[in-house]
Structure 1
Amino acid sequence: MGRKFFGTDGIRGRTNTPPLTAEIALRVGQAAGAHFLRGDHRHRVVIGKDTRLSGYMMESAMVAGFTSVGMDVVLLGPMPTPAVAMLTQSMRADLGVMISASHNKFEDNGIKLFGPDGYKLSDEDEAAIEKLLFEAPTLVPPDKIGRAKRIDDARGRYVHFAKSTFPDRLRLDGLKVVLDCANGAAYQVAPEALWELGAEVIAIGTRPDGTNINDGVGSTAPDVLRETVVASGAHLGLALDGDADRLIVADEKGQIVDGDQLMALITLSQRDAGTLRGGGLVATVMSNLGLERKLDSEGLALHRSAVGDRYVLEMMRDKGCNVGGEQSGHIILTDHATTGDGLVAGLQILAALVDTGRPASDLLRQFEPLPQLLKNVRFKDGQPLEDASVKTAIASAEAELDGSGRLLIRKSGTEPLIRVMAEGEDRAQIERLVDTICDAVARAAA
């Protein structure tokens, strides 16, 4: 049976439309709860969410599902995805849930699941849960129904954890930082952590109203960040996304710095400190060829995984690496966390800034990227990549590049999009090839 619900990052879609209805959320709670009912101890699941209006509905439905199969529920309220992963492990929970659609607009929502070790579930676990969704749940007798409670100190626990990843010998005194929280899950914890470390924090995107998450702010809309950094004379700007598991940076000149440059800096900093493991880092097939060349010049390796932070993490564990991530800003530092953590990654960047005394525009330009262009084509139904004209356009582009660049076309695992990316030495050529393929995909999808 094919995967109907789970994509590359849990379950995601438009709220109140399958698979993101309250009914299905309840069934996911029942199925995931049943799958993780192991042993005779009192079972526990922790649930966090971002700031979407639909989070209340999804949370209530999942509480009903989990408690109906005998699991106790601990509610964290609005918390970053990495905080849920961390608290799942530290609270000895059997399962963790994050209700979020990450960088998507408020109309969407999603369900991410974590195992008791704080790692996202394997394909096998997701397949087993999906199979249970099509079976009648085993409901417990009335005296075995689970209990639900909210905890008040989850925010403080995560702030303490995040600060613990920043070197004890350093402080952020005298550093002015613009922090964009995307009106999302980190709107309280991220400014608090930086302030406690001594930074002067100019916070934006910290007034969620249920519908403004990722709306003109955050890592996917960094214009306000750039403008605020320049206007305020800040040393640096950090932008998180809606669930705070990714990071994009603006230097003091307002120039945007992507995940590839950030990973290069963190990798080389850890190499110099003697804490790098695995002889390099893991990034996806989307990362710029300039990153690979930079690491090679430093005697380090770039291991490329499939797109998706879960696949990055799988390869990190396989290769023994402790640094990995995506160009989009998901950065995984397994010395500290089991998933991408935008705040923790930001603290490592700030530590390097303080330690070196170099301006961000200098420090964060680790390599010269090759021209690279990514465009998305939305489709409704069908398989546009199987269309003969699309295949012909792709083959023609590959022949023209002839080893002088890269071409990557794939279907998104979280949205109905075809992503078309090309990279090479000649920007005009790259733009032309991407446009040609996108036009062919659009015609096939019409």
Structure 2
Amino acid sequence: MALQKKYFGTDGIRGMANSGNMTAKLALKLGMAVGSLYIRGSHRHRVVIGKDTRLSGYMLESALVAGFTAVGMDVILLGPLPTPAVSMITRSLRADLGVMISASHNPYYDNGIKLFGPDGFKFSDEQELEIEQRMDNIGLDNFSVPSNLIGRAKRLDDADGRYIEFVKNSFPRGKTLDGLKIVVDAANGAAYKLAKKIFWELGAEVIELSVKPDGFNINENCGSNHPESLIQEVLKQKADIGFALDGDADRLVVVDNLGGVVDGDQILAAIATDYLSNQKLTSNNIVATIMSNLGMEHYLNSIDLNLIRTNVGDRYVSEAMRKHGANIGGEQSGHIILSDYSTTGDGLIAALQLLNVIISQNKSTAEICKVFEPFPQILRNIECNNRGVLSEKKVIEAIEVAQNKLNGNGRILVRSSGTQSIIRIMAEGDNLDLLNVIIDDIAEEIINA
């Protein structure tokens, strides 16, 4: 039986800032625990730290710097920068570690800490368990170095420029975005300074939204969770496409030229189809999560591609991609991993790859992004502080009854959120009325358990 993690969830450590697991004290301990694990050999060890635009980022950044320098690691501070940029710069600078301070799409009052190894990949469950044990069971004072060996901290002044060029280089050489009108919603988050630059420098006309962060407005009625303003602007400007990022810019939601919202499954299918036709796939496997629509799975099977499903979390998608030799994977929520370019989800690289498909086929965004007919799918979140509720007999029985009612023509998925006190229920099938009844029955048992 796998050990239960105390601090780490689906994507790093996350919680309300200045309480629980998201305090300066814990960040200090984390820096010392992780840093002391990676002090190997006599060379100067380095860690790269980036963050999004939350007010609490200053507090957590300072605490992490104190922890890392106390065990003898040098720290390179990037300032506000997307999560995939931290991954890339960690590799580029041959750093020992990368750290991103962000709670992704969550409101400003939450924050989180994500860890990357020297290869730019997120830490595995086993690595996270080792870190937790070190934080709780070993006296961290034992790892404090003599005063002459304390690490130094400095800022990398050209971090933005490095990442902008990295993203632009993922777009085919010789092509431009000339003639395209693009609206970009940066969610008042980590990409607020650079999203427009990337598309504009490649030739597009760009209208930008949500680029005035104040520490509190990240993801507030904007970005990938709230595309309403983006839809209005795309229609008002008669734009060709709209892109909505989340707080750390590793997630992408697309709005087509007709104002329709395009989720990650359709983006994934469109890019996979293009890669297949241009012989760019490294295998016939595409990786997605248990949340991805059955319609996509049927479509991929129809063009002789396999869909491999993982647990929710782009870290698990990335691990499965390496295992199965795939170079395309992602989540319905908009994390798209294209391993030819990046080790983690990158909303801006995914946007450029989709634009390449649109340009190559000379079709509208609405035409390109309607790849398959999705099965009706209902999602419902139930507030629940009882982590053991899914082990309750009545809840288990309700889920089994619901699955039987679908008679093989759909799926039921019930899971605990990895970052919030929520039970997520998903029902998918060809009978929308039946799906609503099924969701109600399961939700009632969870609430009453």
Distance 2:257 2:336 in 1: 22
Q: Does 1:56 align with 2:61?
A: no
Secondary structure of 1:133's counterpart equals helix
Q: Deviations over 1:210-247 (max 9, x none)?
A: 00001000111111111111111000001110000010
Equivalent of residue 411 in structure 1, options 416, 420, 427: 416
The one-letter amino acid paired with 1:222 is P
The one-letter amino acid paired with 1:100 is S
TM-score, normalised relative to structure 2: 0.98
Distance 2:4 2:41 in 1: 30
Equivalent of residue 139 in structure 2, options 136, 146, 151: 136
Displacement of 1:145 in angstroms is: 0.2
Secondary structure of 1:113's counterpart equals strand
Equivalent of residue 85 in structure 1, options 87, 93, 97: 87
Equivalent of residue 120 in structure 1, options 102, 119, 122: 122
Q: Does 1:433 align with 2:435?
A: no
Q: Is the 8 A contact 2:285 2:325 kept in 1?
A: no
Equivalent of residue 273 in structure 2, options 250, 263, 268: 268
| Structure 2: segments with no counterpart, 5+ residues | none
Displacement of 1:2 in angstroms is: 2.9
Displacement of 1:357 in angstroms is: 1.3
Matched residue, 1:3: 5
Distance 1:335 1:327 in 2: 20
Distance 1:435 1:109 in 2: 32
Q: Is the 8 A contact 2:285 2:324 kept in 1?
A: no
Q: Is the 8 A contact 1:112 1:120 kept in 2?
A: yes
Q: Deviations over 1:289-316 (max 9, x none)?
A: 1001111111111111111111111111
Matched residue, 1:364: 369
Provide the alpha-carbon RMSD of the alignment.
Answer: 0.9
Equivalence map 1:374-393=2 (5 Å): 374-393=379-398
Q: Does 1:298 align with 2:300?
A: no
Q: How many residues align?
A: 444
TM-score, normalised relative to structure 1: 0.98
Distance 2:417 2:155 in 1: 35
Q: Is the 8 A contact 2:13 2:21 kept in 1?
A: yes
The one-letter amino acid paired with 1:143 is N
Displacement of 1:428 in angstroms is: 1.2
Distance 1:232 1:434 in 2: 39
Q: Is the 8 A contact 1:181 1:204 kept in 2?
A: yes
Distance 1:198 1:62 in 2: 39
Q: Is the 8 A contact 1:182 1:206 kept in 2?
A: yes
The one-letter amino acid paired with 1:365 is K
Displacement of 1:382 in angstroms is: 4.2
Matched residue, 1:72: 74
Equivalent of residue 229 in structure 1, options 212, 226, 234: 234
Matched residue, 2:165: 160
Displacement of 1:387 in angstroms is: 2.3
Displacement of 1:381 in angstroms is: 3.5
Q: Deviations over 1:256-284 (max 9, x none)?
A: 00000000011111111111111131001
Distance 2:29 2:73 in 1: 14
Displacement of 1:442 in angstroms is: 2.0
Secondary structure of 1:243's counterpart equals coil
Equivalent of residue 254 in structure 1, options 233, 250, 259: 259
Q: Does 1:149 align with 2:154?
A: yes
Displacement of 1:194 in angstroms is: 0.6
Distance 1:146 1:190 in 2: 33
Matched residue, 2:357: 352
Report the more deviating stretch, 93-102 or 376-385.
376-385
